[in-house]
Structure 1
Amino acid sequence: MLSDDQAKASVSLNAWQSVLCDLAACLRFYSRLPVPRLPWETDPHAAPDINGMARVVPLGGAIIGFLPALILAGALLLDLEPWVSAALSVATMTLITGAFHEDGLADMADSFGGATLSRRLEIMKDSRLGSFGASALTLGFLLRVGILATLATRLDPVPAALVVIASAALSRTAGLTPLVFLAPARHDGASHAVGQPSRDAYWLAAILAAFIAIALGWCVDLPRPGIGLMLISPALTGLAMTRISARHLNGQTGDVAGATQQVAEIAAMLGLLIATHP
């Protein structure tokens, strides 16, 4: 028989193991990082627990943003131009994620060329890139690099790098919004197969994302209005994209979540930029 203290310790250990499993599943889902199998995992390739994974999305986003942030800071410290440094950071992020979210942005943009709901959903399943998608990708990369480069001219290398981590956490949390508040637009898609995160899991993720952004911002003394706009902008983006998806697709898909992440990342950095004066 276990004593009360031993039983509590066992429960605590199991809880931490569960969190680490969810985090590993999150990183495998959102990135191409080499995540090893944890000793207590029975099947690392099994379908993830969507609620457990959703709760740790901000932490997973922060981890995904770490290397791009390091690249940005290193390039700036090597006295590379801000545009070159920002481009290297964004390129690193794209490689880490396998252009996972960019693909969603392109597919959702292409769907605006469909005149009917069925045609829009058909376009989103098509792997070919259309003019709307190409335009969205080009503008998305330009905005991300341009905003980050401008921030790099107004902030020191370390604060600029931490902005990358904060926006990675906030934007991936915003990407959950349409998944939580809308039903899947089709019954044969990945979004329907994975399931919907609960609202409790979503609000917990939102609190964690806000905590990460505020903590990082305070550590490097980012302007308080900038931190506030960095929090509000992706939240509003998530709501706006959810509304657009409801009207445009009568539901949500994984591509909508990816598109929301991309727009929310731009919004988070732009919010900070507005409040960061040269």
Structure 2
Amino acid sequence: MYGIRKLAHLVRHGLDTQVSVARLRRRHTLEERVAGRTVLITGASSGIGRAAALRVGAAGATVALVARREDELREVAAEIEGRGGKAAVYPCDLGDFEALDAMIAQVLADHGGVDVLVNNAGRSIRRRVDESYARFHDYERTMRLNYFAPTRLMLAVLPGMRERGYGQIVTVLSLANQYGGPGYGAYVASKAALDSLTSNMHIETLTDNVRFTSIYMPLVRTPMIAPNPLYRNAAALTPEQGAEAVCDAVIDRPRRIGPVMGRLAVLMDRFATERFDAMRNDRFQQGAM
């Protein structure tokens, strides 16, 4: 049970007070949600994906680990198994659709289905629009990994979820989808496309007991943010805190999880559009975004 101090700690670190209240009211545990089920996590070799895999593996799930780096996946699997859990390794470059299709077909053959899919893998590109005029390929490759790859995975696992009458797809998005991410246009657009798609899929599959959760993740200290010097000393969640948000999603199965500031940004964008745009442009020109 979370007390007042823990609640304040979570709020200070940018996690949603709505999630914290949900924890106080919680009736389910991670073990109840995943024990005996198959959970597929992309980007499981490091960062949020690795930390989440360790958590759900310890809770009794069979974890299907997906990422490009096989050696690192095997290290994660060994750690899960060393704690008494079950894990299976599926090395795959998700940008290679032929390899992706073969991988997910093997997962389904090995486990009979996927109960929870965590779309965590992603590519981030920081490049201003005036540096991108001749770089359309940046948008193509970002969309390929961040949108088309998870879409192929969802289309593969959804039939089984609907037939069994249970399933969940957790998608790790970005706070920039709510607050804005100038300089990261290709990245934010790809995540926005995925958010829109899952919103509609959620409505279509609601009566099948399939749930889609979008996590508008704040900044997390992972290798993906390392190239941006602005983030070097910025406040950021640890991968373990990011994984905690993923586990919250699996336990409570909410529609959305994200910081309060994200929802406030959505309101400002709707009701004070020009002023909010000017404020964000000023921060961008000053190099603060």
Normalised TM-score (structure 1): 0.29
Higher helix share: 1
Higher share of residues assigned strand: 2
Q: TM-score, normalised by structure 2?
A: 0.28
